[in-house]
């Protein structure tokens, strides 16, 4: 069974605070799910190589790095969504010691 420590480690990596009760219930739920999805090990592995794409005709689509949006075009709407601000600045916790 997946350990408590392992669940806590995963939650930490995912930056999610979870309670001890949730750690416990996730152990059972994750085990059941992992056991179910584990059946894919019964599919034989194909040879790797050509045509490893999922979406038909999948290619990288790039664009020229030109014509940037004019500064300020969307500022008003974006600033309005800030959870915390001072004037037009986004306010966050101090990062550097």
Partner 1 sequence: MEIKNLTIKEARKLLDTKQISAKELAKSCLENIEKRNKELNVFLEVYDDVLEQAEEAQKIIDSGNSKELTGIPLAIKDNILIKGKKASASSKILQNYTATYDATVIEKLKEEGVIFLGRVNMDEFAMGGSTENSAFEVTKNPYDTSRVAGGSSGGSAAAVVAEMALGALGSDTGGSVREPASFCGVVGLKPTYGSVSRFGLMAMGSSLDVIGPITKTVSDAEIIFNVIKGKDKMDSTSTEIENCKLKIENFKIGVPYHILEQEGISKDVRDNFNESINKLKDLGFEIKDIKLKNIDKSLAVYYIIMPAEVSSNMARYDGVKYGLRKEGNDLLEVYKKTRGEGFGAEVRRRIILGTYVLSSGYYDSYYGKAMAARKIIRAEFDSAFEQVDAVLTPTAPFPAWKIGEKKSPLENYLADIFTVTANIVGCPAISLPSGFVKIDGKDLPLGIQLMSSHSNENILFEIGKKFLNE
Residue numbers at the binding site for partner 1 (CB under 8 A): 7, 10-18, 22, 26, 29-30, 32-34, 36-43, 45-46, 48, 51-52, 54-57, 61, 63, 74, 77-78, 80-84, 90, 92-93, 95
Residue 52: CB minimum distance to partner 1, A? 7
Residue 86: CB minimum distance to partner 1, A? 14
DSSP H or E run through 54: none
Contact 12, 20 (CB under 8 A): no
Q: Is 85 helix (H, G, I), strand (E, B) or coil?
A: strand
Where are the extended beta strands (E) located within 1-97?
Answer: 85-86, 89-90
Q: Is 90 helix (H, G, I), strand (E, B) or coil?
A: strand
Residue 88: CB minimum distance to partner 1, A? 13
Cross-strand bridge partners of residue 86: 89
Residue 26: CB minimum distance to partner 1, A? 7
């Amino acid at each position: 069974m997946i350990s408590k420590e392992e669940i806590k480690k995963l939650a930490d990596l995912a930056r999610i605070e979870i309670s001890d009760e949730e750690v416990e219930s996730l152990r059972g739920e994750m085990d059941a799910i992992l056991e179910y999805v584990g059946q894919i090990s019964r599919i034989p592995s194909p040879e790797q190589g050509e045509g490893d794409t999922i979406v038909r005709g999948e290619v990288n689509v790039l664009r020229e790095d030109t014509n940037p949006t004019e500064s300020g075009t969307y500022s008003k709407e974006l600033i309005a969504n800030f959870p915390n601000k001072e004037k037009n600045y986004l306010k966050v916790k101090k990062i550097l010691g």
